[in-house]
Structure 1
């Protein structure tokens, strides 16, 4: 019988391979994205000291109030705009994009495009 790894284990392995290639620094932190079945999360992380500098998610009341659903492409785009605005307010303009092992399409792409339009460079 053929045994197949679960999608979450495959995604976690991909994420580890991606993380081996780059990490966030103080000058250029890492924009890490995670999406669950119900919500999306974005953090800007300085890996040299292990600090989260800025974070946003669809669980936050101010973000959730603006959204009809928390797990669609529109929600991802809005979250990208919010995280970019918070980052710029914190003085962060350039980041390294960490897609978290997810395929770069749909929600992940919408978040990235919205963050770029709002002023983040990556």
Structure 2
């Protein structure tokens, strides 16, 4: 099997586990590319994005690249925006990416910022 096939299988497995165990909580979805990392809090019941953050934002773009420090700051920024909207508990959706490196740094940054998952 190809890498893409394995990735899609992991993504489906993670999403199935989340949908079974989420109990109506919002989902923190992560996407990682070679140069940037993106995160958003999604309300699947209504199909709406509540808050988002990424390394593409103007004030983050010049200073950081694809590093764990940048991912951590994206997690903290997302947690601040979520708390401003009134969200405190989410379910972490790693989206087929392995939970290490930048994905783990983003999760730890969001936890430091006050999100519970």
Same fold (TM over 0.5): yes
Which of these residues, 34, 39, 43, is aligned with residue 42 of structure 1? 39
Does residue 56 in structure 1 map to residue 53 in structure 2?
Answer: yes
What per-residue deviation string (whole Å, max 9, x for no partner) do you get for residues 77-121 of structure 1? Answer: 111111101101111000000011111111111110110011000
1:116 correspondence with 2:96: no
SS at match of 1:22: helix
Match of 1:28 in 2: 25
TM-score (norm 2): 0.90
Q: TM-score, normalised by structure 1?
A: 0.86
Matched, 1:18 2:11: no
Moved over 6 A (4+): none
- Measured in 1, the distance between the counterparts of 2:5 and 2:61 equals 29
More helix per residue: 2
Aligned length: 115
Structure 2: 5+ residue stretches without partners: none
Alpha-carbon distance in 1 for matches of 2:79, 2:8: 25
Give ranges in structure 1 of 5+ residues lacking alignment: none
The residue that corresponds to 1:79 in the other structure is: 74
Once the two structures are TM-superposed, the CA of residue 9 in structure 1 deviates from its matched residue by 3.1
